[in-house]
A and B are shown apart, each in its own frame.
Chain A
């Protein structure tokens, strides 16, 4: 219930912040090109074979993005908190920490489309076995955003995370997760 309330609250903050700016002029692009810091919140769900033993939930995270000399590209760091239960007694908590490269698609619209790819590590905690360890992580994602004034942007982000385990001794499966979230991020004057 608390999670639902938070989701609705975040959603309305985002919408109310951006409605007057939905039709902002294209010169917003220069603000978008600044370093950015933001947060996201939304449903996180195991997919493919991972969905056979874990259940979807809600998660959230923070991120920071920095410009590269080539304008359509940015480099970013993401971290989030995701906790998954199961039908049984197993539960898994993930804290991904990864870097990614973002590419702003050259489409001249107030709404911006970005593609993301990256990698890093993920802290994986499994109960009741009490396993806690860092594992390699790869990600792919996309993001649809629009400016909400000079300072803020609102986006819908869709990410696929793969926690790579097959390199381990006895590892036969990887963890596959899909994150969808509404995010609010701010342009910084760095």
Chain B
């Protein structure tokens, strides 16, 4: 008997002494070393922000003057339209390189104002758990809802449109006025050519590249992942057409500008016009530098191994789309069993057929790259369009470091080599179409601490 007891005792002693885990799991769970900051600006540097512009809702910068080719075409410049005052975001989940790091539901109601941390460069912190060690090149945010307020519904009277009411939507389990444009964030036009277009919501998740990557190591100090979505001074008005009990209605709502992927009359898909970028910083491994700007505008820095041509398009998206000869018109929506609406539909359908034939003849008479088959030509034009608007990969890249002013100090740059550029402030609702090299195009190495500027 005594021998048995001794064996059990020795076995337990061994168990206790061999418990040789090296990672303190409970300490790990109770600490947070990764801080995710979300900003709504093109600029990354607090104190070097272009001021918020609040144009009139019917100004040409918010509602295109060229209505014939614009989303807003049925009712132009109604007096009831008001520029939005609030952005509402509902985030369901965050992943890092495809791995879940946060499934906390987080909602934000943000005033469109320079005093808001979301717009003044400070940023709002997202709740998250820490990831495992490793390198991550993308961060994915699952947006459940994105809403701007002041969306207005107008209904057709037969001879015109009258204001009916403000659009309403559920946000944070409460009814609010506004329009959830999240549901329309399908890749503009391009996706609608594909069978699976309804499933391709480009913000669920929105895949955001981490420029320079995030090398997460638990041994490091706090790591900050800054995510920027370009909302500030990049908001445009759109028109959503629909039938309600046989009555044709339009809703005027606001969403990120279609500067890159032009949204035209009758189209509802507005996706891939929300541009995002992320960058990672490890506290204690950052440097600062002050850069002089020859004239008021933006100063940007990108990693030396990146190609600046990934960060701009050569001309406005509207002009890029004009080059597409296979840009066929969209058919009208069937209104349901309401006689007057159906008659109206058939009229629109006749016009659609006529427009379609005109466009087809235009496409047929062209011979891009020596192609003769009309389907090959159609594919060719759209492929050119997609590559011109940087449709492959993560889309148009946004520089990781951006400041506005005649002299910009980047206070926290991850150590490494960078190229610096500048560009003039673009018009409201637009981004840049060219860059000018700074420092003679020479690569600048940023070391920890203060660096010599230029």
Contact = CB atoms under 8 A, between A and B. Distances in A.
Interface of A: 49-50, 52-54, 66, 68-69, 75, 77, 86-90, 92, 97-99, 118-122, 124, 126, 128-131, 133-137, 163, 165-166, 168-175
A90 B29 contact: yes
A88 B30 CA distance: 12
A131 B102 contact: no
B132 A128 contact: yes
A175 B25 contact: yes
A135 B21 contact: yes
Given A77-B8, A88-B104, A135 B132 contact: no
A66 B4 contact: yes
A92 B29 contact: yes
A90 B21 contact: no
Contacts, number: 117
A69 B16 CA distance: 25
A145 to B, nearest CB: 22
B8 A126 contact: no
Given A90-B129, A119-B12, 18 more contacts: A53-B29, A75-B5, A89-B129, A90-B29, A99-B11, A121-B16, A121-B18, A121-B19, A126-B28, A128-B131, A129-B28, A131-B21, A134-B18, A134-B19, A165-B24, A170-B27, A172-B27, A173-B27
B46 interface: no
Contacts of B76: none
Contacts of A172: 24, 27, 30
A171 B27 contact: yes
A106 to B, nearest CB: 22
A25 B365 CA distance: 105
A178 B102 CA distance: 27
A90 B24 CA distance: 14
Nearest to A163: B26
Contacts of B24: 165-166, 168-173
A135 B19 CA distance: 4
Interface in B359-378: none
A53 B23 contact: no
B15 A97 contact: yes
B28 A87 contact: no
B132 A53 contact: no
B100 interface: yes
9 contacts: A88-B127, A129-B132, A130-B132, A131-B21, A131-B25, A135-B19, A135-B25, A172-B30, A174-B26
B353 interface: no
Contacts of A77: 8, 12
Given A53-B29, A131-B25, A98 B101 contact: no
